[in-house]
Chain A
Amino acid sequence: MLRVDPLRNPEPLIRRVYGYVAYRIGDGPDAEDITSETFERALRYQKSFDPQKGEPLAWLIGIARRLIEGRPPTLELAIDVPDRADAGDLEDDTLRRLAHSGAVARLEPRDRDLIALRYGADLTARQIAEELDLRTNAVEVALHRALGRLRETIGEPGDPPVRKQGTGR
């Protein structure tokens, strides 16, 4: 049987794993360590990859999730969102990125995980459902609610109530 190399094209995988990890635990050295460790484990256990069970990215995200969950609780997310007053030298998008990261950091772990899987790793709802052992529909609803709570955290004006969002889909 011809073996598939899940790390054939590593660069986009690195970016998406890092995106997921950074949304989960914050951008920085810790996220880099977890990403590195994810790829080390992937190389070590490459034979365990089964293309019939999912794509390489989903497999890597599974490894990263286990690593994050196995971390000591002292290493919790700590993202400093800069004040508007300090934003003079920062580019607009950088400021927005930090604001988003900070808002994601303030979410409940489950919401944070969903947001990180959907927008950090860019997994589809179906892939997330497989990863979390849920139904696709349940993932879509949960994501919708998480986005609503994130919107509340960011403080976007005119946000609809979260509960209505979840039931209205």
Chain B
Amino acid sequence: MRHKRTNLESELRANRPEPSHELVNRLEGRVREGRRSRAGSFRVAFAGALAAGVLAALASVGGLGYAATATGDAVDKAKRTVKSHGVLVVHKSPARDQYDKPKVKKKKKAKKKAKGRRFARPPFTG
């Protein structure tokens, strides 16, 4: 009796209805596809969370202001490097204050024509 029972049980297991290959392949593909899309969205979420974490950490120690200043400096330096400039003229300096007073232009006096007697060659005497 025991043998018979075992036999029926093993037959039930052995004769278990099997899915078609097509169904198995289709469902396996579907599961793989679902897993891929989930992994993709997980990657995006992870990158976003990481970026937010880094920003929060920087903000907590004033890193954002530092980063902004550093960026500004870098931009200035880049501008200075790229921009061509001529001779550096120092407009304000002690030396310039002392020696570089603006010259007053003297008006040339118009030669006055001698009135009356005019210097002339001495008379020929002889």
CB-CB < 8 A to B9: which residues of A? 119, 147
Chain A binding surface SS class: helix
CB-CB < 8 A to B23: which residues of A? 14, 18, 32, 35-36
Interface size class of A (residues with CB under 8 A): 35 or more
Say whether B11 faces chain A, with CB atoms less than 8 Å apart: yes
Contact A23 B17 (CB under 8 A): yes
- CA distance in complex: A35, B35 (Å): 18
B16, chain A: closest CB distance, angstroms: 4
- CA distance in complex: A52, B35 (Å): 21
Say whether A66 faces chain B, with CB atoms less than 8 Å apart: no
Say whether A83 faces chain B, with CB atoms less than 8 Å apart: no
- CA distance in complex: A115, B16 (Å): 11
Residues A74-118 near B (CB distance < 8 A) = 93, 96-97, 100-101, 104, 115
Contact B31 A10 (CB under 8 A): yes
CB-CB < 8 A to A15: which residues of B? 18-19, 24
- CA distance in complex: A119, B9 (Å): 7
B98, chain A: closest CB distance, angstroms: 78
- CA distance in complex: A158, B4 (Å): 10
- CA distance in complex: A31, B27 (Å): 13
Say whether A40 faces chain B, with CB atoms less than 8 Å apart: yes
Contact B5 A32 (CB under 8 A): no
Contact A101 B8 (CB under 8 A): no
Say whether A51 faces chain B, with CB atoms less than 8 Å apart: no
- CA distance in complex: A23, B19 (Å): 12
CB-CB < 8 A to A122: which residues of B? 13, 16
Contact of A18 among B4, B14, B19, B28 (CB under 8 A): B19
Contact B17 A22 (CB under 8 A): yes
Say whether B15 faces chain A, with CB atoms less than 8 Å apart: yes
A75, chain B: closest CB distance, angstroms: 17
A49, chain B: closest CB distance, angstroms: 13
Q: Given the interface contacts A115-B12, A151-B8, does A35 sit within 8 Å of B31 by beta carbon?
A: no
Contact of B17 among A39, A96, A120 (CB under 8 A): A120
CB-CB < 8 A to A31: which residues of B? 17, 19
- CA distance in complex: A11, B12 (Å): 20
- CA distance in complex: A158, B2 (Å): 12
Contact B16 A39 (CB under 8 A): no
CB-CB < 8 A to B5: which residues of A? 147, 151
Question: Chain A: residues with CB nearer than 8 A to chain B?
Answer: 5, 7, 10-11, 14-15, 18-19, 22-23, 27, 31-32, 35-36, 39-40, 43, 46, 93, 96-97, 100-101, 104, 115, 119-120, 122, 147, 150-151, 154, 156, 158-160
